[in-house]
Structure 1
Amino acid sequence: MGKRPSLSSVSPPREFTFQRKPLRVFQHEQGPRFVAADVAKLLKYPDEAALQTALGGKAGCLLSPASGPSLLTLSEAELRHALRAGRKTQAQALQLWLDDTLLPILRKGTHADQDKLQLAYALAGEAARQVGQAVWESVLAGEVDGQHSRWLVSLHYQVQQGQRRPSGNTVALQAEVSALAALAACVAEERALPVSNRDLIKLAAACHLRLAERMQKQALRA
């Protein structure tokens, strides 16, 4: 085997986690470089040598980081080759994560973008699941009769714990949907509201009671 080509990087690798296993990635001018030893573990090879054998022994090149020993790394094309040669179930899961999450993060380039993208993917996926469930239940219950229904999906996301706790509920076709911040303006408008006087009185009374409770708590703290 000929001498393996080598690269260098002045920046440390960025570390990501897939199924509780790390994947280190170097940002390089030629494109991202994936640490072969980490890829081997993700694809359940005994070591990077076994991965190299599966790839024909020619893939990858040594990369010298700013500190520490040189590491065998794979290009994106070589990683995709490894995915095609890997175990089907594990490789497919890693392929989806690579295309849907990791590569968009790497192309954005900052940790702030990484957090935003992960949050966006999590919430978008959860919103789709909630709406899909609402449609399913409505059709089975006979509530959809050739009409397009509307759903309001409320999502809560615990960023620090890395978890999402969404909730979703359907909204009737004739219902008025408004953000809480705009509720007062909607009530104050002259146009007709699909709300009875009795409902407005109940709303005003509830708001007055809640405001009184908060004012009392603030007075006790003072």
Structure 2
Amino acid sequence: MTHPDPNIPQAPPLTLYYQGKPVRVLLHHGHCCLLADDILALSPPRLRHQLQRQLAEYPGCALTLPQHDSPQCGWPETALQRALQQSKRPAARQLQHWLQQQVLPALQQLPPDAPRWEQALAMAAEAGQQISHAVLKAVLEHGSDWQHSHWLLTLNYTASHPRRHAHGRLVALNSSATSLQALAQHIAGPDGSASRNGELLRLAMACHQQLAKRTEKQAWRAEAAEQPRANPAA
């Protein structure tokens, strides 16, 4: 098993889900490694023993995870795929299909340089933690009103921090956010908008003012284009 360099910061793991169970993925010396305990936890007993036996001779990765004092064992995705290919069990084929069709295509779209990978993993982990805490708190404290809760999430990433620290903050909002294109469709929909009449009236007035300004500018431009140019003095 290769051990990590303590002087090189390691990003938090990217957590994926297979059949509702978490699978943590980290970048280790340019290779994608999956946490061995997570793979074993979602595998049936026979497949679990087969993977342990086949991957025992392969040098695994020593992955440093938050809240763990000792490095955890990880399996490179190439070695894991070879072990799954040698198995004829349906669970192995399903896991291999998940790796090939969902995990690897998504990871191949990530930037090839390690700092961008670390930044993405750190911010994704922080965002997931912030949102999880907000949803848990809303459901427990707000009763049925949790379905109408909205938050604004701000994220920051400090590349110079020893552990590539990402920090975020959630701000509770009393209104929802939507794109400008979807706003008109939302208001004109069958259910309409939950906004009050006064709010809708102010929104309509603001739109009319913007249209009036743009129409006036277009009229000026058309008038200027129609005016004949002054003839130069003879």
- Report TM bin, short chain: 0.3 to 0.5
**Structure of greater relative contact order (alpha carbons < 8 Å, 6+ residues apart):** 2
Using structure 1 for the length normalisation, give the TM-score.
0.43
Using structure 2 for the length normalisation, give the TM-score.
0.41
